[in-house]
Amino acid sequence: MQHTVKFRTDRVPAVDNVGLFRTTALWAHMDRVLPHDVLIVVREGLVHIIEDGTEYHISPGEVFLMKRGVRHYGLPQTLPGSEWYWITFGAPETEEHDHQMAETETEAEAEIADAKGMSLLRGQLPQTIELKRLKVSDFQGICVRMNKLLHHYAMGTAYDRLKLNVGTLDLLLDLHRDVTDSSGKRHKLYDDVKAFVQRHLHEDIRSEQLAESLQLNYSYMSRVFSREAGMSIRRFIMEAKVKEAIRLFSESRLNISQISEKLGYNNPYYFTRIFKQVTGYSPTDYLKKGYYDKGSFQ
């Protein structure tokens, strides 16, 4: 039996903890009944989980939600070197917590509204949304966001707790949108272009080369993609590369010139110009401010 995890859109969840785990040998998930819902994002390897008798093998780029109150365990099938983020969260369970959340709810909703460029969530979404398992469309962006949530959890201040809870709801909403978009009637061309860009992020991607690879007329491809994505293919490639650059800044020790070269920009000055065009900051200023996320150009 598959157990979906439900969350409310009209209030922020109470996050218990956030972490990043890496196996060094063949590993089996412990046998337990969870007191909280858990979201995991697999970054490397393969994770094996059995939930209430249903077996799952979760691959890199997949998000999986484990339901509280249900038995979970695993066989020694999780590969060495497997790596995943987790967030444990649930609804507030005490009157004191309810009171604290009520005080921050207006501020939290305002942050979400600012981040998404929309008015308050109430009345625009179902009050309850369900998620279980999905392949994310923006894997490197999810990793960047998880690193940011890890930072807020580690800092532990009242401000960081609020950002952690709001950021988790923001992530859950975006994952739900991913599911909704993928099940809609989006043009196949959009998905083909997106997949090509993701496969060739570390190369110098030319729109004409992309059209030739997909065996499409360049003008037709550009017109359809722009209608579906709300941006040009060139802009989409730029944003995808900048997101990957931010992920590399947060997960590696590569410098700006090395990341520029890794992304197919032989000239670091040109890469800096692209980065500033997308984010509003140069890579140096962006790193000094410690953003490490993609919120400034969503």
DSSP assignment of 162-206, as one string?
A: HHHHHHHHHHHHHHHHHHHHHHTT--HHHHHHHHHHHHTTTS---
Query: Above 60 in pLDDT, residue 121?
Result: no
Q: What confidence score (pLDDT) does residue 289 get? A: 67
Calculate mean pLDDT across residues 10-36: 92
The H or E element that residue 235 is part of is helix 233-251
Q: What is the pLDDT of residue 186?
A: 55
The whole-chain average pLDDT of the chain stands at: 82
Render pLDDT for 195-244 as a digit per residue (tens, 0 to 9): 899 899 999 998 888 888 888 888 888 888 887 777 889 999 999 999 89
Average pLDDT over residues 180-186: 56
Q: pTM for this structure?
A: 0.61
pLDDT band at 296 (very low <50, low <70, confident <90, very high): very low
Give pLDDT, residue 179: 75
pLDDT of 37:
95
Q: Give me the percent of the chain exceeding a pLDDT of 90.
A: 44
Mean pLDDT calculated for residue range 278-287:
85
Residues 282 and 245 sit within 8 Å (Cβ to Cβ): no
pLDDT of residue 252: 81
Q: Which tops the pLDDT comparison, 110 or 51?
A: 51
| Closest of 281, 283, 282, 279 to residue 295, by C-alpha | 279
Note the pLDDT tens digit of each residue in 53-103.
Answer: 999 999 988 999 999 999 999 999 999 999 999 999 986 443 344 444 444
Over residues 157-182, the mean pLDDT reads: 87
**Alpha helices per DSSP H over 79-118:** 95-116
Radius of gyration for the alpha carbons in the chain, expressed in angstroms and rounded: 20
Cα torsion 254, 268, 141, 111: sign = positive
CA-wise closest residue to 1 among 37, 50, 54: 54
Confidence band of 187 (pLDDT split at 50, 70, 90): low
What pLDDT, in 10s, does the model give residues 126-138? 788 899 999 887 7
Predicted confidence (pLDDT) per residue in 3-21, tens digit: 999 988 888 899 999 999 9
Give the tokens for residue 51: 């939930």
Q: In angstroms, rounded to a whole number, what is the distance separating the alpha carbons of residues 52 and 67?
A: 10
How confident is the model at residue 94, as a pLDDT? 39
Q: pLDDT at position 223, please?
A: 84
Long-range pairs for 154-161: beta carbons < 8 A, 24 or more residues apart: 161/15
